[in-house]
Amino acid sequence: MRTQLIAGNWKMNLTCAQALANAESLVKLIEQRPDVDVAVCVPFTAIGRVREALRNSSVHLGAQNVFWLEKGAYTGQISPGMLADFDVAYCIVGHSETRGRFGVSEVEAALLPYFAESDSAINAKIRALLFHSINPILCVGETADEWTAGTTEGVIRQQLEGALKGIEPAELYSFAVAYEPVWAIGTGQTCEADEAARICTLVRNYLADILDAEVADNIRVLYGGSVRSSNADVLLNRNEIDGLLVGGASLDAMEFARIVMAARHGG
Ligand code: PGA
């Protein structure tokens, strides 16, 4: 059985001091669940401090984005080698907020191109992370309009194909995919567990098709979008769902710990 992965995405929140306090509380709160993989994907500015807090704990350090080249004149970017320098274990790639696919957008249309990460950029980021043995968490998911139009399956297939193009299946053993319907992110509107499980199965079938069945069987497929402690157990009880990517609720260590406690036992 695949060990469930619960990953927190702190997004652009928390000062260094707040991040440190949150990480320290989390480490104490989840001591009794070594059978679950837990990661926190923190802002770049907090990576150094949080790394210290997580030392000697079972909680893994994660980042929220990466550039694909090692060095050069790329102002403002962070390379995979820089993440490896801090022992970063996981990195989110292709989040709808970096693809520019905001659900209920608070961002003006004119700003969207600044976020527009393409499938080929996502592919390059995944390759760069794998080279440094950092586990990518690839986000896929449809917008509200695509959901209404019934094109979810096609959108997800295309995102997976674009992200994984030309990558050797054998390199993807430590890889995870998060199904995050854009309309469910930060909206309080969670996808029903049945539907989340159906899409997670679809993702695994597509992975088997694009890669191979054995590799696909090892890849963890998570759900993300308005996860709270009140709905985590229904999602985590589904065999098709190998964990959760948690945004807002991961900012509160107690609430995030409750979500971790809801993971299936055994691993
Ligand atoms: P949310 O965000 O839990 O706040 O909806 C999830 C995500 O964006 O990864």
Tell me: the pLDDT tens digits for 134-190?
999 999 999 999 999 999 999 999 999 999 999 999 999 889 999 999 999 989 998
pLDDT score of 174? 86
**Confidence band (pLDDT; 50, 70, 90) for 210?**
very high
Confidence bin at 105 (pLDDT 50/70/90): low
Rounded to an integer, the average pLDDT of 117-131 is 95
Structure tokens belonging to residue 254: 């107690």
pLDDT, position 190: 86
The values of phi and psi at residue 40, to 5°, are -125, 125
Return the ligand 1 atom nearest residue 139 CA: 9
The verdict on whether 255 is a catalytic residue reads no
**Residues making up the chain, counted from first to last:** 267
Question: Active site residue: 97, 117, 180, 240, which one?
Answer: 180
Cβ proximity of 152 and 142 under 8 Å: yes
CA-based nearest residue to 13, from 267, 262, 247: 247
> Which residue is associated with the tokens 């979008």?
225
Residue 54 burial (CB count, 10 A): 22
Q: How far is the CA of 222 from the CAs of 8, 35, 69, in angstroms?
A: 12, 17, 27
Q: Which residue in 95, 97, 117, 142 is the catalytic one? A: 95
Q: Contact, 95 vs 116, CB < 8 A?
A: no
